[in-house]
Amino acid sequence: MNGQEALRDALDRCRRENDALRTEVTHARTLLDALASLLLIDTREDPFFHVFESLHAVFGFEHAAAYTEQDPANLVCVAASLKDNVGSRWNAKTFLNRVLGGRVSATFDTKSIEEYQDLSQSVPRDRPALFIPLRVAGKRGLLALIKPAGAPGFDRKDVELAKRFSLLASHAMAACDNRRRLEENEVRAEAAEESNRAKSEFLASMSHELRTPLNAILGFSEIIAQECFGPVGSQRYKEYAGDIHASGAHLLSLINDVLDVGKIEAGKMEVAPAMLDAGSVFGSALKLIGTRAREKNQELTVCVQPDAPPLYADERALKQILVNLVSNAVKYTPPGGTITVSGRAGPDGAFLIVCTDNGPGIPPDKLARLFKPFSQVDNRFNRSEGGTGLGLSLVRGLTELHGGRAWLESEVGRGSSAYVLLPGAPTDLSQRAG
Amino acid sequence: MLSIHTFAAAGADTDAVLEDIGRQIAESGAAPHFVINFFGCDHDAEKIRVFLGNRCPNAVFIGGTSNTGLMTDRALWEKDAIGVFAVEDADGQYGVAIDSIGDDPAATAEKALRVALENATCPGELPSMVFVYQAPGGEEEVLDGIRKVVGEGCPILGGSAADNDTSGRWRQISNAATTKNGLAIAVLFPSGEVSTAFQGGFEPAGPNGIVTRVVPDRFGKNRGHEVAEIDGRPAALVYDEWSNNMLGEKAATGGNVFEETSAHPFGVEAGDIDGVTNFILVHPVKATPEGGMITFAAIEQGARIHIMRGNRKRLAQRAGNVAAGAAERLPAGAKSLAGALLVFCAGCKRAIGDRMPEVARDVTANLGNRPFLCCFTFGEQGHISGKNAHGNLMIAAAAFGT
């Protein structure tokens, strides 16, 4: 071989080597592109379609199937080029368990593999196959690529490429699955929000429609009870009219609460804070409840401590807060108990309202849900004490509209304390009030 | 996780050497699952088989005799050494089989391979590597038999068991038996990666010709282990001319030319393999009175044949380069290397001569002081650019990743 021949030979070798490397790079790029596309596809599409397509370009199989492990060793076909195989089951034994455990395996003689004996007749046998482990939606799984009968088998290069693919594909499938779940969650959250808004609007609308006839019931029952146009004839009718009025008044109060909760949830409730005289607001708000407390022989103490900062709140909302807090305390504190309502200094110039009773207390696991609408400690209280469970929900909603915070502390057998922290007044108003 | 240990000791008394190795194994705490074992032909192979069975009860093992010693990460060992390459790999699968080569080496190899796969509990699966250790002769047919089962896509590494003087005292060993003219085969499904390298350290010296006649032997019509004519003339005469009369009188009278030809083997073009032209080296060992040359590896009639050249320095450096090449091919790179197995041509060893300790140090350095075991053989099998081949004066290496 002379120098020229040797050079030509070397160039030929380089060219062929280059071609071989280019093929390898093309295969690797095809697989990487396919995996990257999994991160971008419409999540309603079948990701395996993309996986199979790219694998086919590289490995040239005839059939492909993807299996995931439903129960230990129980595989279910989740995607397949032969659609009839989807849903079919395959019991993993020695061979498939190794693949599920992470081993890429090329088989040249499936007759000898125990698991193949269990397969349905529609699954091609006696053909070279490549098994690639894959994690799908958090489950162990595998891809099976099957070549046509008589085709050259998969070799170690295929196995090495499949090993790398397996690792990356599992990550890509996980990312695809996470994206799909995220999108589903977003859709669910939007639906839930829409449903909640519709509910609030319905409640607000219904409450309004209920109040109109109720006003007539309240007005006419009061006229009858007070015999404005002359005696009703029987004392019993007069008492019944009084009962109708009292029940109507209760119903109106409930409807008002429902309306307010609905407004808060729909974001339609607005508050107009102003500088208030705490002692005066506390006194007028709790006047009516004081009567109920006295009826139960309860000791109700109301005080605004000298160090309490100026109170900056919406008067109507604050009265609702106080009435609901103290009504609850009166309702659940046994006869003869004590209830204290105080206004005092909170952190950073905030005004803290504390309503403390020596009632039965609330178990810790029930505390958190009491601020949710229609929640009460338990049905036993529902039955014995009545109510809708809207009171504390309103308290929290109204407090939060002020930018404040409401919470409960309780100890079973010793009583409960409800706290409402209202932010301090803006500096200029606060100085004027001071 | 796969880990590798090597153990070796030397001495004339087989029992004493085995006792020493047993102590080393015990001290290491190793409980191997797969073992490759090489030993000098003066040792009692059956004693070694029993010893390995008892000392490594959870391991399948395979091996055989090595020419005039062996090499490990600790030293170059003399001819009465025994070496053990122990693989601890609870998550891998390994299977072995052994049989007499018989009249049909391809059929024997096919059958043994299937038995080994069953033994590994991996029937029908493509192994990461097949290791063969056989009596000299019929190597190409053995490769054909293995190819028939697993195709060309699985690397085959191995060698032809060697004695110290080509007198036929070679042995093969496995769990089930020891054989004189047998074939031991192992299939490897390690939990880590395996990569291989296979090279000759020679280049064409220039003269070349076409093999116009081989003496057919039992392994094929158009190929054989005796090259009768090159370009229509007696092969020994042609070789003698190409090599500047290195054969001397033996070119005409015949005789053992094993040493004379070690530095100048035949090179047969291995064809286009993934774009790389490679030479398979064929070592002529005898000249016949008729002018033919008997070779360790079979040669096809019609093949272009070259006389190759190499120098001692280059040969001495080659083993380290081949070992390093195998380690670098591990997917996670040489840093993931757990250990390596080398099959080194006995003819090369002879050509390198007193520079062999330098080879041992070079291989150790190239493998980053990781454990390795190297045997010296009368023929080597390896995977070269996508195909499995048998050659002489070659070095084959398998690197095991963690």
Alpha-carbon gap, residue A356 to A412, rounded angstroms: 13
H helix or E strand, kind and range, residue A49: helix A47-59
Chain A interface disruption, residue of B93, B113, B126, most A CBs within 10 A: B126
Structure tokens at A111: 């007759």
pLDDT at A428: 67
CB contact under 8 A, B124 and A112: yes
A17:B155 CB<8 A: no
Q: Please state, rounded to an integer, the average pLDDT across all residues of chain A.
A: 82
Chain centroid, CA B207 distance in Å: 28
Across the interface, do A16 and B275 touch by the CB < 8 Å criterion? yes
| Beta carbons within 10 angstroms of residue A309's beta carbon | 21
Interface check B206 vs A, CB under 8 A:
yes
Predicted pLDDT of residue A46: 73
Q: Please tell me which residue of chain B has the smallest CA distance to A24.
A: B274
C-alpha closest to that of B124 among A108, A272, A348, A365? A108
β-bridge mates for residue A421, sequence order:
A352, A405
Helix B45-55, helix B14-28: angle, nearest 10 = 20
The reply to whether residue B204 touches residue A1, judged by beta carbons under 8 angstroms, is yes
pLDDT (average), residues A259-265: 79
**Are the CB atoms for B291 and B235 separated by under 8 Å?**
yes
Distance from CA of A105 to the nearest CA of B (A): 7
Q: What share of chain B is helix, strand, coil (3-state, %, to 5)?
A: 25, 40, 30
Question: Which residues from B are below 8 Å from A108, CB to CB?
Answer: 124-126, 149-151
pLDDT at A180 over 90: no
| pLDDT band at residue A148 under the 50/70/90 scheme | confident
Query: Does the beta-carbon distance from A9 to B204 stay under 8 Å?
Result: no
Measured between beta carbons, the chain B residues lying within 8 angstroms of A144 are none
Confirm if A39 and A179 have CB atoms less than 8 A apart. Answer: yes
CB contact under 8 A, A154 and B153: yes
For residue B257, give both structure tokens. Answer: 């030319």
CA A343 to CA A421: how far, in whole Å? Answer: 10
**Which residues in chain B are contacts of A164 at CB distance < 8 A?**
331
Residue of B nearest to A101 (CA): B91
CB contact under 8 A, B151 and A155: yes
Say yes or no for a CB contact (<8 Å) between B153 and A106. yes
CB B289 within 8 A of CB B253: yes
ipTM of the modeled complex: 0.77
Closest CB from A109, A160, A163 relative to B124? A109
Q: The tokens 């482990």 sit on which residue? A: A133
Q: Answer yes or no: do B124 and A157 touch at CB < 8 A.
A: no
Q: What is the dihedral of CA A151, A153, A154, A156, to 10 degrees?
A: -140
Answer yes or no: are the C-beta atoms of A92 and A69 closer than 8 Å. Answer: yes
> If we measure between CA atoms, which residue out of A201, A318, A316, A191 comes closest to residue A263?
A201
In this predicted structure, the answer to whether residue A69 has a pLDDT above a threshold of 70 is yes
**Smallest CA–CA distance from A16 into chain B, residue:** B275
First to last CA, chain B: 6
- The residues near A36 (Cβ < 8 Å, ≥ 6 apart) are A172
The fraction of chain A above a pLDDT of 70, given in percent, is 86
pLDDT at A434: 41
SS3 of residue A258 by DSSP: helix
Q: How far apart are CA A175 and CA A163, in angstroms?
A: 19
Q: Judging by DSSP bridges, how do beta strands A351-357 and A415-422 pair with one another?
A: antiparallel
Whether B204 and chain A come into contact, CB under 8 Å, resolves to yes
Residue type, A347: P
What is the 3 state secondary structure string of A133-200?
Answer: EEEECCEEEEEEEECCCCCCCCCHHHHHHHHHHHHHHHHHHHHHHHHHHHHHHHHHHHHHHHHHHHHH
Rounded CA-CA distance B109/A103 in Å is: 26
Tally A–B CB contacts below 8 A.
77
Q: What is the separation of C-alpha A349 from the centre of its chain, rounded to a whole number of angstroms? A: 35
Burial class (CB in 10 A: 0-12, 13-18, 19+), A2: exposed
What phi and psi, each to the nearest 5 degrees, are found at residue A171? Answer: -65, -40
Q: What residues of B are in contact with residue A113 (Cβ under 8 Å)?
A: 123-125
**B272 contact A CB<8A:** yes
pLDDT surpasses 60 at A2: no
Does B277 sit within 8 Å of A156, measured CB to CB?
A: no
C-beta separation of B393 from B307 below 8 A: no
pLDDT digits (tens, 9 = 90+) for A98-142: 999 989 999 987 777 888 877 666 666 778 899 999 887 788 999
B-chain residues near A105 (CB < 8 A): 125-126
**Could you give the strand order of the β-sheet that contains A338-345, starting from the edge strand earlier in sequence?**
A299-304, A338-345, A351-357, A415-422, A405-411
Provide the 8-state DSSP code for B381: E
Answer whether A17 sits within 8 Å of B274, measured CB to CB.
yes
Dihedral of the alpha carbons of B257, B260, B263, B266, in degrees to the nearest 10: -40
- Return the higher-pLDDT residue of A253 and A221: A221
Q: What percent of chain A has pLDDT over 90?
A: 24
Task: Outline where DSSP puts E strands in B257-303.
Answer: 266-273, 276-282, 284-287, 293-300
Residue type present at position A367? L
Q: Which of A132, A146, A156 to mutate to test the interface with B (most CBs of B within 10 A)?
A: A156
Residues B347, B262: contact at Cβ < 8 Å? Answer: yes
Interface subset of B 98-157, CB within 8 angstroms of A:
117-118, 121-126, 128, 149-155
Q: Cβ contacts (< 8 Å) between A111 and chain B: which residues?
A: 124
Q: Under a CB-based contact definition with an 8 Å cutoff, are residues A320 and A260 in contact?
A: yes
From the list A18, A113, A153, which residue is nearest B153 (CB)? A153
Best of A23, A107, A108 to substitute, by most chain B Cβ atoms within 10 angstroms, is A108
Among A31, A132, A157, smallest CA distance to B331 is for: A157
CB half-sphere exposure, A394, CA atoms < 13 A: 27
Q: What is the chain A residue with the closest CA to B130?
A: A156
CA distance B336 to chain A (A): 16
Burial A70-108 (b: 16+ CB within 10 A, else e): eeeeebbbbbbbbeebeebebebeebbebbbeebbbbbb
| Subunit contact B124:A110, Cβ cutoff 8 A | yes
The pLDDT, as a whole number, for residue A381 is 40
Inter-chain residue contact B154 with A154, CB threshold 8 Å: no
Instruction: Print pLDDT tens along chain B (402 aa).
Output: 899 999 999 999 999 999 999 999 999 999 999 999 999 999 999 999 999 999 999 999 999 999 999 999 999 999 999 999 999 999 999 999 999 999 999 999 999 999 999 999 999 999 999 999 999 988 989 999 999 999 888 999 999 999 998 889 999 999 999 999 999 999 999 999 999 998 877 878 889 999 999 998 766 678 888 999 999 999 999 999 999 999 999 999 999 998 888 888 999 887 654 444 578 888 898 999 999 999 988 888 999 999 998 777 778 888 999 999 999 989 889 999 999 999 999 988 988 889 999 999 999 999 999 999 999 999 999 988 678 988 888 899 999 999
Chain B residues lying within 8 Å of A151, measured CB to CB: none
Pairing of strands B337-345, B372-377: parallel
DSSP 3-state percent helix, strand, coil across chain A (nearest 5)? 55, 20, 25
Q: Do A158 and B276 touch (CB under 8 A)?
A: no
Binary contact (B152, A156; C-beta < 8 A): no
Find residue B81's DSSP bridge partners: B10
